[in-house]
Structure 1
């Protein structure tokens, strides 16, 4: 459905005057009592979008305030799917169109830097089960002429005890898994899931090292500190990537701009945050030095560590990154969070904190003949990546080759985001 107003990203669309160059509205698709409309801007859907995102099972990455900065910055064409039953919104799939090698892919907005994607579904539709074959065909029909294939990446088919309505789609297991620490009734019980005695011993050891050098403080960035800490993260991460010979997935200006915009978007009550910077800052001998930075997002009771970095030029023996995680997790438990999500990517420090490992899938909806061919290729690529990551030395070699060839702008589908 082509909207008759200015797109939120500033993309010009047809006005209400009905000028001759206005694109024709996309007609709705009706199948199996489901009406599918396609929107090329976010604004007309804001009210129902925000209503659906209140569900705890909906990922922050499909929230309205998360999507806006990516749309405003990258300005990819949008194909936002709304499914309605009996005049009531049943689901929204916020998709953008990315053209690559002659193929138009419909993907979740900002998927390159998403840790978990769910789409948005009403509670009523979610309890009715999975999308039927007829309903999936209706979505494909609605995308015809706009995309060759829809690729919905990093979708858990089961999440927090519920089955995804998208689970009926053709799927290939994503090469990366996500790792979570559920919070139990007490902080001590939560730690027992990951060896509480060892964790406390390590925390005390780290604190003693830093106390001997003058101490430290845990910083949750104030509004005027957020951008500075995010820029410090970009710097620290660039150094780490360069030292490892890996591509820097945060290096491009649009990605940095979108992340800076996310810092300025909050829920009105100030409790949830699309992106909030946290850090460990030293006192005394190394006054003001920041050896560890992390960016957290919170939606309801679900907290995601979007990314983190460390500077090992000082106090590396204190494992400042691990210490910062302790401080963040301890605080968030007091504040009533239910899950601390370390995001995608298999890293040793994540396994040391997380008793829960979540398998994610890439879901495919071919639309055109080219899309069917792209689906076959996509499955092959993902399976090849999974096989390669089973051989760490080969995986590291390929990543370094990418870095030398200047392909750091490739999709961030690996754990180099950590």
Structure 2
């Protein structure tokens, strides 16, 4: 069967490259002779030249995956007008290419999938099924009285009741869907954000060699790869860095891999009186990230601890675990906070206070002073248990074969 896969992200966004495309290829492998049409919504931040886009299209076409792109606007009236323009083109594609299933990634793309499913009578599958509208309110991006919230929340209800199959990120999302959307499912699967364990693969030789090359042999290295603000904490991250700097002194080195404006980062560093030499800030491609993880001793995941995050997943935790890194995380994030606490592979912040940040530093210090290889083996075994792609292979085989 030919499939239409909908996303709400740019092709070059890590959410497509690491969070969608690997699964698309697993889905394709269930029926290798059939075509998969992958829709992306392109943002200016990830703009590609026509030549680069053509090269990617050509490369994926050889794998029976065809790329289709549309232009992005923030969710609201302008984006609604754009979507109205998408719909006739996608309906035409569905008919011409004999597409049998609409497979949407997350709720915003699921909204488009719902409309197409209604208009074409094709079954709808929602992947990475998690709350989005309430999350945007909880993190302060939207107001609950706003048109954006009301529209997306209504569409979340509609797509939840329409979906033939959902693939959620946690088991508890079924309870949320029943409570918030009055939706129950005959076909409900759980697939957290999985990781390429071969790509994110720590070894002590590379750890020692890379640290020696950078003159970091005696440093305690903290890593954070991700955004600041939005669904993530911002100023609190630098509060933690300040406490960590006080605790480890000159022995601490922080790599902050983010797309945050460098001048804003410097303002926070200055405001918190953190030594400039302590933090190195840069934006790197997803392909470069494993190199930095390789030299690190621990990582942080500063997701805002809001209620809806219990039903979401975090790509970076799986990547951190795959590299054997203990993680400092906020409370109530997916199943991950519970796993970290239960397995003793990091620290779960009970509140966002300097006292708790210090407690986290002390616990991490205890962990990193242990046998490195033994600690890494313990943490990578957690990644293998909870983030292995075999989980996705089983689910997609159940659905598509």
Interval of TM-score (by shorter of Structure 1 and Structure 2): under 0.3
Q: Which has a greater percent of helix?
A: 2
- TM-score (normalised: structure 2): 0.27
TM-score norm. by structure 1 comes to 0.26
More strand by share: 1
